[in-house]
Amino acid sequence: MITPEIVPFAKTGGLADMTGSLVAALEKLGAKISVIIPAHRSVLQQRALLQETGIRLAVPVSNRTEYGAVLKGTIGADISIYAIQSDRYFDRASLYGTADGDYPDNAERFVFFSRSALQLLSQMGAPQVVHCHDWQSALAIAYLETQPHLYWPISSAKTIMTVHNLGYQGHFPPGDWHLLNLDARLFSPHYLEFYGKINLLKAGLVFADAITTVSPTYAEEITTAEFGFGLEGVFRERAGALFGILNGADYNVWNPATDRLIARNYGPYDLSGKAACKADLQREFGLPERPEVPLFGIVSRLVAQKGCDILAAMLPTLLARDVQFVLLGSGDKHYHDSFAALPAGYPGKAAVRIGFDEILAHRIEAGADMFLMPSRYEPSGLNQIYSLKYGTIPIVRATGGLKDSVEEFDPVSKTGTGFLFGPYDSSSLRIAVDRALGVFPQKPEWNTLIRNAMAADFSWDRSARAYLEVYNELLGVTAANQ
């Protein structure tokens, strides 16, 4: 694995959780995994978990050579983590930029990282598969394909490019092309050029042996103009090599039966603990402790992708009813301001925390009755999967991984796990919320819905087996001779 982040060393979002959980699940299935990451400042702050290897790297960047060192640690039983240390590139306060924008030298930083990872692998041996994640590592695949003579003996390895969120592609001005040390012919629409810019993610997409993304529905969506972010043509061309594998949840961390961060543990057939968690959440947010009132929760980045505009438009109608609403999140300032004003307008009904708090996220998942995820698009999503496990009924837009993991509740057959809506507008969201509120007072039906949700299985074991199938298909390994 070549990835820009992985828990517990470096994290900005779901990518780090996904890679950490995936490698652990693959290891349990018998795969031998090594992971290469940049030695970000957050990695260096955990030096007690790392040791010097003595390996030194000399990496071409434009017309000069940049140098790096390699640190090594272990996670799981025997997963090696290699951190590429170059303090001028990676010892920074944040991974990719500041509140003012991306670091201006991000192209150079991840050229260095991609080449460093390949140089390290060349010294370590010959992996069967090189699996890269997102634009920050995509160049490694292009280098293996176009400059194999530089990276023997690993140039014969099969390559996989995983796209976590197509909204982030690594666009850079054409003046940065010299940094890549690639043939000029590759700066063309068939390869890395993208509307006059360099597109690093595209480098992985056009050259990888296989492409995966993080849900089956998202794999279909990204072949369309609505969700393809300009790369839909590439995905259509590579449709035969494109796989959608839904992310899993780490039930060692997200499980109400064992979660140490919530007020009381509970299971599907004893929901008294969930009632205690609801009261705890109401106290935490200064809301009246009313067990009979529907409590809506949301934990989210406050950005357009997450549906904040239609949520904000719907909330006045929702909060006019006898309900409660709690929100935890951070993101764009205008959403901060919009949501932060809610408690003053709806005292005793709405409470908001701007920021992120892992413990509070667990308490919201456990204490809320319903969880809102009205995303414009959602490659995989994790909070809806956590919500299912905690019996906190998800109300989601039918897109990406949300559509793949939540099934509409049918009051007649008593099947289903949540509520979905299709068109991206506040009216459709409100109608889905109304369906949920129609079931909530009917406690036998609502408890059946809770048990349906808690029984859903989105463990990483299932997802990891799907990745192994892709690896084995590339390697020509059949089930009979695994």
**Pairing assessment for the beta strands 158-163 and 197-199 based on DSSP bridges:** unpaired
Question: Rounded to whole angstroms, what are the CA distances from 7 to 13, 81, 303?
Answer: 10, 11, 23
What is the spatial distance between Cα 20 and Cα 248, in angstroms, rounded to a whole number? 11
Mean pLDDT of the region 71-78: 91
What is the spatial distance between Cα 473 and Cα 129, in angstroms, rounded to a whole number? 11
Task: Please tell me the predicted confidence (pLDDT) of residue 76.
Answer: 83
**The pLDDT of residue 408 is above 90:** yes
Both structure tokens of 284:
């935490």
Question: Rounded to whole angstroms, what are the CA distances from 316 to 68, 307, 346, 353?
Answer: 54, 15, 9, 18
**The pLDDT of residue 56 is above 70:** yes
Q: Report whether 308 contacts 327 (CB < 8 A).
A: no
Query: What domains can be seen in the chain, in order of their start residue?
Result: 14-248+461-481 (3.40.50.2000), 272-458 (3.40.50.2000)
Q: What is the DSSP letter of 95?
A: S
For the chain, give the number of residues: 482
Strand partners, 394: 371
Mean pLDDT across the chain: 96
Task: Please tell me the predicted confidence (pLDDT) of residue 482.
Answer: 54
**The pLDDT of residue 481 is above 70:** no
Both structure tokens of 5:
């982040």
Rounded (to 5) percent helix, strand, coil in the chain: 45, 20, 35
**The pLDDT of residue 407 is above 90:** yes
Give the pTM. Answer: 0.91
Question: Rounded to whole angstroms, what are the CA distances from 24 to 6, 17, 38, 252, 358?
Answer: 11, 11, 19, 12, 21
Percent of the chain with pLDDT over 70: 99
Degrees, nearest 5: CA angle 84-90-94 = 135
**The pLDDT of residue 479 is above 60:** no
Cα-based torsion angle of the residue sequence 118, 124, 130, 134 in order, rounded to the nearest 10 degrees:
-50
Task: Please tell me the predicted confidence (pLDDT) of residue 473.
Answer: 96
Q: Report whether 40 contacts 85 (CB < 8 A).
A: no
**Pairing assessment for the beta strands 242-244 and 370-373 based on DSSP bridges:** unpaired
List the single range of 329-333, 340-344, 441-445 with lowest mean pLDDT.
329-333
Band of pLDDT at residue 356, cut at 50, 70 and 90: confident
Q: Roughly how many angstroms between the first and final C-alpha of the chain, as a whole number?
A: 21
Mean pLDDT of the region 99-119: 95
Mean pLDDT of the region 171-179: 98
